[in-house]
Amino acid sequence: MQGSFKYKVYDRAGENKFIGTFDLQKADGSGPIQADDCIDVTNLRLGGKFPSGLFVTQNRNNDFGKHFQMVNWKSIADLLDLDVETSYDALSALE
């Protein structure tokens, strides 16, 4: 929702049913999003800090300057009571 720095989630299948809204600060305990330029999300396993995927936004926070705010997708999925599917192995698909 532009201007509120909350994000809406929709089902990608069928009629794209609305699932819910989340506040990124509640998902990762980070500082506020003051201006976001873009977002992206993946449920691919990215190891270490992001074993259940990644949500990223470019945050123009006045205290920290422009930076990427990266959040484990599972912490957001948990807020919305979503299952996270991470069985797809992108590296083996390249073989």
- The whole model's pTM is what? 0.75
**What's the pLDDT band for 10 if we cut at 50, 70, 90?**
very high
* Widest Cα–Cα separation across the chain: 44
What pLDDT, in 10s, does the model give residues 46-91? 888 888 999 988 877 666 667 788 889 998 999 899 988 878 777 6
**What's the pLDDT band for 15 if we cut at 50, 70, 90?**
very high
pLDDT higher at 83 or 95 = 83
Range in 12-16, 32-36, 90-94 the model is least confident about: 32-36
Does the pLDDT value for residue 35 go beyond 60? Answer: yes
